[in-house]
Structure 1
């Protein structure tokens, strides 16, 4: 009897997996909808509170540091738990991981409705980030398991487009809520949306790899600590400076822990993440490009939102609506990636996209304190076109390069690069903006009393508040402060353009072309011949034979 029960359980599990992987088009489409809704909820929650910080500060008496951590605690927990969460989904079920993550997210999002101290809200947001860490990798790995290889790139393209546009959706939604209700409505909305999505997730089939090994606990603990320490250092850099000993200690400590993680994984029979995957041109290119793209994305949102609200005088809702056209090229180009990627190859797509992003940032430097919306909109469309061109292809490259039984981990790598890139983007943009603004506004404060100079030199928001208190005498201070802020944002845009341009050169050298070859490895591979080599197929390409020691042994979709 026990043997019959075991065999019946195995048949049921196999039939469930087969039904999931080979279900009808309608069932796959429903899975795609739920996956996109899940990633949109997670990304929207990252930016949701940016428009509500003033209301939270007034209601809870939170300090500026506490307000920062109300936003950042979510990102920190999401970044450090996403890799272990992806592995747990592979082992115990991706739908189950999605359900657990949504349950945690929903309860944690509702907690601030009952809690009123800043420290309690920070803790609740951190818990919501922990739930989001289970949601993000599960949504993408469910798609790659549900769709056959021929249709997978298109589905991943839609998911990537929604993920790239999630920040815009979040800004528009929360701006509308703040316009009609108070800041607590954001938490109500996030909690209810999570619960509704949890119920909808019950309607899709489970997906798991029955042969997946147990969780690599040493690897999970090490990489979680590495990401937590490194991201913590990045988040603290704008407040304390990049040369602060605590910041440097965190950055160095995170890198050291990452190296330790690599050593551990090389010695594990069943590693959490086979780091040799990064030698694969598709996996390595995808990871690098997504990191740079999200660094630029979050830096852009950080800078342009403040410009629209504080310089041009837009409300939170108006600023969000002003950014909404960016979603058009992001969604359309991501959905079309399965058409243009095979024709152009990953190398050409990556290079073209990053050139557009760098050019768009340079165009943003033409803005002034009295620019029109049209002058703001067209550079944003150039940048979002670059984002949309490469987001889906690089995501597909990561997922296709990883073995089928590691789709959850591959999705988690994709998500972790987004979180680290986003945190670095905000920290870099914030640091450059603060130091540059302080330098440019100094001339406008000459001759003013110290009680005015001190706050006005800290930020544009404080300068405008001081100018308002001065009455007519404050008009000149307000105008000069806005000009200083625009000059500071121009410096930030220039740095972002340089970072993206330099990255485009290195990443393009590493990226495989339409023929599947990398520029810097072509001669080496051709010189070694085909002895003991095997062919590895890429997403829409074929890589020439590589020697056994260079192969990562991955199963391609």
Structure 2
């Protein structure tokens, strides 16, 4: 088996764990990919359980949407900030912290007895996933020799896609065989394996230290939150109602201020110059349309198949 050998700090010719041990590349790939798989799985693992949770917690359709949105909003808003903090405090340290936060929030989700508690727990889950997802790739690249990085990144991307694809399937099987709480309890044994594995196989590293763009994070989060709030409540309250219109207008203003902030600050959380790259811009457009399609379709389809068609989870 190919192993990582010690050769200073450059991963191009090999790497080692923090204790100087020779670590097989396969082990390093599992250490970086397993927590990421857990985080991506939870994007959609809940969809198959929504009809069951609706009955047990007496949740409204709007609350069902927030069960999903609370996770993805925190995940998307805090991802770049978590990367910056990892560069400053240590990427492996932040990675392990994300696993711990994600696991604690999973336990809180499983123990939730009201929709509000579940929404709050899902938000913390998303915050933990925000530290796991980007740093897993950074740590993986540092742990693999340059000649094998393309292969490692391909495997990482495949595992990420597998997590999204398997989410509804795993969720349905767990709900049908155990209970809806089981979709969160399964994260605990994964974390018990993932944390010591990361500490063993992935070495600590830091990056260029720069100030955290807190105003940029706040404006991006507020803009997306208000947009989702207006869309979720549009059907119930009316698209012309004051609350919905105010949310959508507030979102447009916040996002415009976010772009202005990123154009003028010396340390942007989202460097807009990256969009000059056609490949980068197209990748984001494809990612956006994919997410709209898959998340929107699975959210509705899982409820249609169970409530209307009468299928089990």
Tell me the TM-score normalised to structure 1 length: 0.49
Moved more, 299-308 or 272-281: 299-308
Inter-partner Cα distance in structure 2 for 1:57 and 1:210: 44
Are 2:227 and 1:230 aligned?
yes
Could you report, residue by residue, the CA deviation over 1:242-268 in whole angstroms, capped at 9, with x for unpaired residues?
Answer: 555434433343333233223223333
Query: Which protein shows a greater Rg?
Result: 1
Structure-2 residue corresponding to 1:277: 274
Q: The residue matched to 1:52 in structure 2 has which SS? A: helix
Match of residue 23, structure 1, among 3, 15, 22: 15
Structure-1 residue corresponding to 2:51: 54
Q: Cα RMSD over matched residues?
A: 3.0
Moved more, 236-245 or 92-101: 236-245
Task: Name structure 2 gaps, 5 residues minimum.
Answer: 1-5, 17-21
Inter-partner Cα distance in structure 2 for 1:133 and 1:237: 28
Structure-2 residue corresponding to 1:264: 261
Structure-2 residue corresponding to 1:135: 132
**1:241 positional shift:** 5.5
| Residues 125 and 116 of structure 1: CA distance in aligned 2, closer, same or farther (over 3 Å) | same
| Residues 103 and 41 of structure 1: CA distance in aligned 2, closer, same or farther (over 3 Å) | same
**1:207 positional shift:** 4.5
Structure-2 residue corresponding to 1:145: 142
CA contact (8 A) 1:109 1:188 kept: yes
Inter-partner Cα distance in structure 2 for 1:196 and 1:265: 39
Could you report, residue by residue, the CA deviation over 1:17-39 in whole angstroms, capped at 9, with x for unpaired residues?
Answer: 43698327964432322333222
| Residues 302 and 244 of structure 1: CA distance in aligned 2, closer, same or farther (over 3 Å) | same
Structure-2 residue corresponding to 1:187: 184
| Residues 314 and 118 of structure 1: CA distance in aligned 2, closer, same or farther (over 3 Å) | closer
Inter-partner Cα distance in structure 2 for 1:44 and 1:79: 15
CA contact (8 A) 2:111 2:181 kept: no
CA contact (8 A) 1:106 1:195 kept: no
Structure-1 residue corresponding to 2:174: 177
Residues 184-333 of structure 1 mapped to structure 2, 5 A cutoff: 184-237=181-234, 239-240=236-237, 243-306=240-303, 308-309=305-306, 313-316=310-313
Could you report, residue by residue, the CA deviation over 1:359-389 in whole angstroms, capped at 9, with x for unpaired residues?
Answer: xxxxxxxxxxxxxxxxxxxxxxxxxxxxxxx
Could you report, residue by residue, the CA deviation over 1:96-143 in whole angstroms, capped at 9, with x for unpaired residues?
Answer: 221111111111111244442222222212211221121111122223
CA contact (8 A) 2:51 2:306 kept: no
Could you report, residue by residue, the CA deviation over 1:267-316 in whole angstroms, capped at 9, with x for unpaired residues?
Answer: 33333222111111222121111111222222332354345445654322
| Residues 149 and 283 of structure 1: CA distance in aligned 2, closer, same or farther (over 3 Å) | farther
Inter-partner Cα distance in structure 2 for 1:227 and 1:111: 25
| Residues 301 and 89 of structure 1: CA distance in aligned 2, closer, same or farther (over 3 Å) | same
Inter-partner Cα distance in structure 2 for 1:53 and 1:262: 36
Inter-partner Cα distance in structure 1 for 2:13 and 2:300: 43
CA contact (8 A) 1:42 1:132 kept: yes
Q: Per chain length, whose mean CA-contact separation is higher, i.e. which structure has more relative contact order (CA < 8 Å, sep 6+)?
A: 2
Q: The residue matched to 2:29 in structure 1 has which SS? A: helix
Could you report, residue by residue, the CA deviation over 1:3-48 in whole angstroms, capped at 9, with x for unpaired residues?
Answer: xxxxxxxxxxx98743698327964432322333222211221222
Structure-2 residue corresponding to 1:110: 107
CA contact (8 A) 1:215 1:272 kept: yes
How many residues of Structure 1 are paired with residues of Structure 2 in the alignment?
Answer: 303
Inter-partner Cα distance in structure 2 for 1:88 and 1:74: 20
CA contact (8 A) 2:98 2:131 kept: yes
| Residues 245 and 217 of structure 1: CA distance in aligned 2, closer, same or farther (over 3 Å) | same
Inter-partner Cα distance in structure 2 for 1:237 and 1:31: 46
Inter-partner Cα distance in structure 1 for 2:217 and 2:9: 26
| Residues 40 and 282 of structure 1: CA distance in aligned 2, closer, same or farther (over 3 Å) | same
Structure-2 residue corresponding to 1:87: 84
Inter-partner Cα distance in structure 1 for 2:65 and 2:296: 16
Could you report, residue by residue, the CA deviation over 1:194-250 in whole angstroms, capped at 9, with x for unpaired residues?
Answer: 333223222233343443223223333333333333343344445445555434433
Residues 519-534 of structure 1 mapped to structure 2, 5 A cutoff: none
| Residues 59 and 164 of structure 1: CA distance in aligned 2, closer, same or farther (over 3 Å) | same
Inter-partner Cα distance in structure 2 for 1:265 and 1:110: 37
Q: The residue matched to 2:67 in structure 1 has which SS? A: helix
Task: Name structure 1 gaps, 5 residues minimum.
Answer: 1-13, 317-557
